[in-house]
């Protein structure tokens, strides 16, 4: 590719598959050398790792940055990086489109009760066609998007295209006004909840967002509102969410993120996602945290990673810097 790159040694703690590594190499500027494996070399400048250990950060005196190869930052990584103020932390937004698409899929499936109706028709039961409709129209309704980042902006555009008015929260409210959404600071949350026909959570999990939506906050939503969570499970109180759905205060929910995950490969087929039986509720669409998946997701990951590395090799500031204090 280009010939003006600075020498840059990059180490990936996890080995990508052969096609992914080949794609990355093909996108990189000259002068960028990539190594892989569990041990970081002592001449490493950039470490690509979601959950690096202390020894990885100490391995090279030349290390200057860590790239988490996905959007969210694990709390353990954030805490460790805080001990190394000379290093910068960055992440990738390669799956923003796929995650936003999942949010809209969950919103529509929840609003139209697609899953229970599909289940009945598979049993040759046409009753839902003749019963009073539960389907919720979205045109003319108000969507509140919590978190107006790479994913939230895409979700907002899709909601706007469906005819919805969009309100959104963003940590930094900048002028000029957004053409799609009315932007508010997080301090306006309670006031916005009262206006939400559909509440869509796209926030990362940080100390400030953990437990953000509890019983008091969910009670502010209009009765019959919809909720979609593609951020992290712990942002919404587990017990309060289950109660609101079971009692019908929330009309329906689409959930891609949960409260309990398999501890190992052997437990992948028998791990309940919550201590509450969400699976017994017909007004919940359940997805096993796969919103960022797509057939070409690894190619996109490597393309976005190459963009960050190429910018650095040209002497430009590396994109997607994470502010440790806020967690994103």
- Same-domain status, 205 and 91: no
- Same-domain status, 31 and 100: no
Assigned domain for 52 exists? yes
What percentage of the chain reaches a pLDDT higher than 70? 97
Lowest mean pLDDT, pick from 53-62, 72-81, 170-179: 170-179
Which pLDDT score, from 0 to 100, does residue 3 have?
40
How far, in Å, CA of 193 to CA of 216, rounded? 11
- Same-domain status, 275 and 306: no
End-to-end Cα spacing for the chain: 31
- Same-domain status, 158 and 303: no
- Same-domain status, 85 and 129: no
Q: CB of 110 within 8 A of CB of 135?
A: no
- If one counts the domains in the chain, the total is 2
2 exposed, middle or buried (CB, 10 Å; 0-12, 13-18, 19+)? Answer: exposed
- Same-domain status, 89 and 100: no
Which pLDDT score, from 0 to 100, does residue 171 have?
87
pLDDT at residue 209 is higher than 90: yes
- Same-domain status, 167 and 147: yes
How far, in Å, CA of 46 to CA of 56, rounded? 11
Which pLDDT score, from 0 to 100, does residue 176 have?
55
Which pLDDT score, from 0 to 100, does residue 2 have?
41
- Same-domain status, 43 and 109: no
Helices 114-122 and 96-112: crossing angle in degrees, nearest 10, is 70
- Same-domain status, 160 and 223: yes
Assigned domain for 197 exists? yes
Read off φ and ψ for residue 142, nearest 5 degrees.
Answer: -115, 125
- Same-domain status, 117 and 221: yes
pLDDT in tens, 24-58: 999 999 999 999 999 889 999 999 999 999 999 99
Domain span including residue 171: 96-286
pLDDT in tens, 100-122: 999 999 999 999 999 999 999 99
Task: Quote the pTM value.
Answer: 0.91
Assigned domain for 308 exists? yes
How far, in Å, CA of 276 to CA of 249, rounded? 17
Element (H, E) at 226: strand 225-229
Assigned domain for 325 exists? no
Which pLDDT score, from 0 to 100, does residue 174 have?
67
Q: The domain that contains 81 carries what CATH number?
A: 3.40.50.720
Assigned domain for 321 exists? no
């Amino acid at each position: 590719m280009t010939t003006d790159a600075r020498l840059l040694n990059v180490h990936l703690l996890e080995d990508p598959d052969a096609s992914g590594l080949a794609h990355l190499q093909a996108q990189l500027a000259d002068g960028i050398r990539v190594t892989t494996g569990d041990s970081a070399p002592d001449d490493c400048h950039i470490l690509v790792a979601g959950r690096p250990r202390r020894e990885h950060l100490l391995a090279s005196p030349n290390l200057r940055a860590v790239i988490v190869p996905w959007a969210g930052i694990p709390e353990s990584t954030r805490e460790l990086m805080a001990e190394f103020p000379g290093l910068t932390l960055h992440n990738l937004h390669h799956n923003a489109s796929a995650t936003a698409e999942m949010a809209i899929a969950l919103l529509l499936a929840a609003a139209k009760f697609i899953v229970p109706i599909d289940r009945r028709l598979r049993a040759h039961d046409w009753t839902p066609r003749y019963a009073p409709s539960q389907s919720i129209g979205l045109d003319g309704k108000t969507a509140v998007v919590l978190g107006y980042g790479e994913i939230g902006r895409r979700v907002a555009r899709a909601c706007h295209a469906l005819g919805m008015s969009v309100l959104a929260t963003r940590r930094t409210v900048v002028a000029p006004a957004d053409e799609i959404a009315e932007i508010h600071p997080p301090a306006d949350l309670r006031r916005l909840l009262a206006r939400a026909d559909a509440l869509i959570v796209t926030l990362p999990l940080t100390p400030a967002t953990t437990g953000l939506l509890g019983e008091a906050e969910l009670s502010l939503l209009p009765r019959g509102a919809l909720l979609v969570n593609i951020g992290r499970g712990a942002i919404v109180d587990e017990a309060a969410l289950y109660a609101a759905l079971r009692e019908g205060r929330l009309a329906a929910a689409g959930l891609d993120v949960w409260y309990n995950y398999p501890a190992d490969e052997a437990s992948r087929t028998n791990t309940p996602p919550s201590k509450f039986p969400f699976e017994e509720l017909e007004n919940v669409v359940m997805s096993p945290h796969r919103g960022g998946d797509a057939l070409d997701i690894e190619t996109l990951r490597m393309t976005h990673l190459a963009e960050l590395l190429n910018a650095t090799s040209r002497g430009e500031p590396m994109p997607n810097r994470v502010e440790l204090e806020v967690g994103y």
